[in-house]
Amino acid sequence: MSDREAEYREFVAARMESLRGLAYLTCGDWQVAEDAVLGALAKMYVRWQRVDNPDAYARTAVVRAAIDETRRPWWRREQSHSHAAMPDRIAPDETTGVDERLRLRAALGRLPVKQRAVVVLRFLEGLGVEQTAAALSMPEGTVKAYTARGLTALRLILDERAEGRHANRTV
């Protein structure tokens, strides 16, 4: 095994879980996230000799792959069928941290895919506007607009859910 191949294996071992989490937050489905990460890492392996910044390359490839996976017609069909057949009912956990993560994850799932990707990269991955724009191949102005719209939508969704919880408690 060459030194470069060993470097690639070490990189994948160290970053696999965080990339999988990033893909999940982008697309909202663990199986799709796994497919996106594996596809992105396979493409990265072919280009490994030319990759200057593996973290940035992997992050960009995974987010793009997760977005692409959600655009596939079969995914939309499966999503609409699965939601119709099995409503997403999550019992609240007694620990507020877990409950908050579940609420945030559900709220993120209601954002359009590119808006969600921008919010995830900006606030959960800690990237700046310029880095997010480069990762998603979009103008910085679009990143700023998606950030503002995404945060506004998240606030409305979370407020709506909070009001619903309070209404259920008084009944």
Q: For position 72, what pLDDT does the model report?
A: 65
- 106 half-sphere exposure, CB direction, 13 A CA radius: 19
Task: Please check whether residue 117 is in contact with residue 36, taking contact to mean a CB–CB distance below 8 angstroms.
Answer: no
Chunked mean pLDDT (size 10), the chain, 171 residues: 87 94 89 91 91 92 87 54 48 61 87 93 92 94 96 90 59 46
- 40 half-sphere exposure, CB direction, 13 A CA radius: 29
Total domains in the fold of the chain: 2
User: Are 104 and 132 contained in the same domain?
Assistant: yes
User: Are 70 and 121 contained in the same domain?
Assistant: no
CA distance 65 to 121: 14
Q: Using the Cα atoms of residue 23, residue 24, residue 29 and residue 33 in order, give the sign of their dihedral.
A: positive
User: Are 113 and 31 contained in the same domain?
Assistant: no
CA distance 117 to 111: 9
User: Are 7 and 83 contained in the same domain?
Assistant: yes
CA distance 153 to 92: 22
> Residue 148 maps to which CATH number?
1.10.10.10
Which amino acid would we find at residue 18? S
Boundary (domain end) residue, out of 87, 117, 143 = 87
Boundary (domain end) residue, out of 87, 119, 154 = 87
Q: For position 89, what pLDDT does the model report?
A: 54
User: Are 50 and 69 contained in the same domain?
Assistant: yes
Domain residue limits at 95? 90-171
Residue with tokens 């470097």: 7
